[in-house]
Amino acid sequence: MTDLNEFQQEVRTWLEVNCPASMRTPMVADEVTIGGRDTTFKNPDTKLWLERMGNKGWTAPTWPKKYGGGGLSPQETNILKQELKRIKARVPMISFGLWMIGPVLLEYGTEEQKQEHLPKIVRGEISWCQGYSEPGYGSDLAGLQTRAVEDGEDYIINGQKVWTSYADKCDWIYALVRTNTEVKHGGITMILFDMASTGVSTRPIKLISGLSSFCETFFDDVRVPKKNVVGEVNDGWAVSNRLLQFERENISADVFASDEVFDVRKIAKDYCSGSDGKVSDPLVRDSLSKILMKDHALKLTFKRVMEGTKAGSSTGSTSSIFKFIGAELNKDRYEFAIDAMGQQGMGWEGKAFTPYQLDVAHEWLRSKANSIEGGTTEINLNVIAKRVLGLRDS
């Protein structure tokens, strides 16, 4: 216990010195970084904060030190999170590397892959995107057609991916490719390659929100060494499902249940309060309680499942439960926000609206994808029904 107290003191002191003041203010949309080779920082403090946290290994607190991680125990990780929360520190970066491919490499990667990729993920030097969905294969992911054909020590990859987040800005991709056309699930392989490779091109997709964080990604005779396969050839479906579990858990925990998501309570008070400072319309107040209580219950569930996992009790396909509840909750949150703000929360652009109001409007539209990306709500309900409840199709 005293060791943990000492650790807490150490963390507190370190953060005091190393977390720049502007990194303790609420996140602004255009200061979010995904890291990577060519990234530019609007606010120089963002760069500083990422470098310091990355060098300390605290962007990936639980990863082993030899791969650049923090090497912290679960208890120490908790303390670090608490201390970061205490000073309202911003997340240093949004990273698919940290959330998804990193944890998968720790389980499935070769020693060479771990040493090459993990430290760069921790420090935000290389950013990663995900090549999963294809134009004809979204929810039916296992039908994917992007081909990888052997050629000596390499694979030659041809095909198209879609909904690749930040593909136009990312350095590397982890992609699912077809290495066997005879069988559906058993013919898929996960492979890693540099987005600067010859034959890779991307095209941003403009969304209903006006933003373009997703791309179409094209592979035209891209040559990738065989040693970049993650796990076994033709065993990519298992690897990809493990990755999806990480994705669903981490999106739910870090995004949908984050304290950094915008404050619906403040919106209700700002736009709907009476002279006593409380929300005056009882129905609005009730809706707000529903959202905040669901959020509270979800956070307690993360805590319970985390403690259960630590104690060794298996909890089943919790990632699908988290993803389903978290995504629906986040959509409800934005619906509540624009309802509470009225037309002032539905501006598209212009000086009649504050940047915050415009953010809410665009993020409301963006939130509709929450229950589509990373497995639709319907797919997650299928997973729960089949894998947890044992309800079969026949």
In the bound state with another protein, the residue whose beta carbon lies nearer, of 243 and 305, is: 305
Of 195 and 327, the one with the shorter C-beta distance to another protein is 327
Q: Which is nearer to another protein, 350 or 390 (CB)?
A: 390
Closer to another protein by Cβ: residue 239 or 272? 272
User: Smallest Cα–Cα separation from 374: which of 133, 181, 201, 178?
Assistant: 133
Tell me the C-alpha distance between 247 and 122, whole Å: 17
User: Whole-angstrom Cα distance, residue 284 to residue 265?
Assistant: 11
Least distance to another protein from the beta carbon of 42, Å?
Answer: 33
CA distance 139 to 165: 16
| Cβ neighbours of 141 (radius 10 Å) | 19
- Amino acid, res. 22: S
Helices 318-341 and 264-272, axial angle in degrees (round to 10): 20
Bridge partners for 122 per DSSP: none
Greatest alpha-carbon span in the chain: 76
Residue (of 338, 332, 331, 334) closest to 272 by Cα position: 338
Q: Which of 346, 388 has the CB closer to another protein?
A: 388
Please choose, from the candidates 214, 215, 255, the residue with its C-alpha nearest in 3D space to the C-alpha of residue 100: 255
- Which structure tokens are listed for 143? 């039908």
| Least gap, CB of 267 to another protein (angstroms) | 10
Place of tokens 């993020």: 363
Distance CA 249, CA 240 (A): 14
Judged by the rule CB under 8 A, the positions of this chain that interact with another protein are: 265, 268-269, 273, 278-279, 282, 285-286, 288-290, 292-294, 296-298, 300-301, 303-304, 307-308, 311, 313, 318, 321, 324-325, 378, 380-382, 384-386, 388-394
Nearest distance, CB of residue 383 and another protein, angstroms = 8
Q: Which helix (H) or strand (E) holds 189?
A: strand 188-194
Closest to another protein by CB, 292 vs 365, is 292
From the CB of 269, what's the least distance to another protein, in Å? 6
Minimum CB separation of residue 110 from another protein in Å reads 36
Nearest approach in angstroms of CB 336 to another protein is 13
Q: How far is the CB of 382 from another protein (least distance, A)?
A: 7
Is the CB of 255 or the CB of 284 nearer to another protein? 284
